[in-house]
Amino acid sequence: MTVFASAVKKRSLGPFLFAVLAVSAHLLVGSVPVSASELPHATQCRVVNLMPPFWRFWDAAKDQPQSAQLQLFDEMVVKEHPEVYRESVLGAGSNGSGPRIADFLRSAPPNIAVMRKLSDSLEADLPLYLSGFQKAFPDFACQNPIYFVVSLGAFDGGVRSVNDSPALLFGVDVIARIHPENELGALFDHELFHMYHRQITGMGGGSGDPLYRALWEEGLATYVSGVLNPQVSESAILGHPEDLAARTRPLLSAIAGELLRNMDSTSPDIYQAFFVVNSARKDIPPRSGYYVGLLIARELGQRYSLQQLATMNGESLRSTIGGMLQKMAH
């Protein structure tokens, strides 16, 4: 669920990666193989945890003037991991001493304690999220690396191209700011489903794909996270803005009609209007495509299992979505 930035076009799955699951694992920077035997539904992943370098930076820079902080961030974080701290991954101003970094450093102090606690707990809890997801989708193969990063406010979770291969990134700074602990399972299930969806159908292009596919990908991932986490509210499943459903319902007919007319569009502006929180459009709620996609997946979920929904693809899927949008529009 990318809340604060548009998705970068996602590519095909990378090669097989090795096991990193253990409930008590302490994951340092890089890939660390550990035992998965403690979990009955262990899967295979590679974890790249970029939080330790950030904490080394923060401990050294927290009492320094901002000019020194920017220099230290560049030396201790950006230059250590330029494959992540670049515009193609985190957005404009995220490399060197860009404005995104300065803005983050100014706003970070009130969030640091929660970030540090979350940074520690995610390492221990990730195997449990993976195991729980695989109970619903036993054929899930975690073939993309999973990163924990400071995203500079870019996203809570999302798939990006890192070193020319798709990777699943979790932005610890954004998660700490907007997600209470009881919602984390839903966030992980949403993002893990995107990986699974790509695994079995090749879907996962996001921005750059036809609009109907983005509608299905995000709507279905939202629906799956809700089914697997029934204790989490609809507003939390949908993400920001918190009143997304309430703001979209009165405009549903018009929004569905516009989505129908643009089903095959690959325009970045059209995509951003329906799937990005900072959309330039003011006449419709930001990220309204998530809610419309959820409605479509929810209705189809009355007739099909999660596994059947996950395999839907091609012209039959396009025709089904078109028919449902037409019904909403009238």
- Per-domain residue ranges of the chain: 46-201, 211-329
Strands 165-171 and 157-162: antiparallel
Query: Amino acid letter at 163?
Result: N
Q: What angle do CA 44, 46, 49 make, to 5 degrees?
A: 145
Alpha helices in 108-201 (DSSP H): 112-136, 172-178, 184-201
Residue 14 phi, psi dihedral angles, 5° rounding? -85, -170
Q: Given this model, what pLDDT does residue 202 score?
A: 86
Q: Is the pLDDT of residue 236 over 90?
A: yes
Q: Find the mean pLDDT for residues 107-136.
A: 93
Give the model confidence (pLDDT) of 55-78 as tens digits.
Answer: 999 999 999 999 999 999 999 999
Give the model confidence (pLDDT) of 254-304 as tens digits.
Answer: 999 999 999 999 999 999 999 998 889 999 999 999 999 999 999 999 999
Q: In whole angstroms, give the CA distance from residue 44 to residue 18.
A: 6
The predicted model scores a pTM of: 0.85
Q: Given this model, what pLDDT does residue 19 score?
A: 37
Query: What stretch of H or E contains 162?
Result: strand 157-162
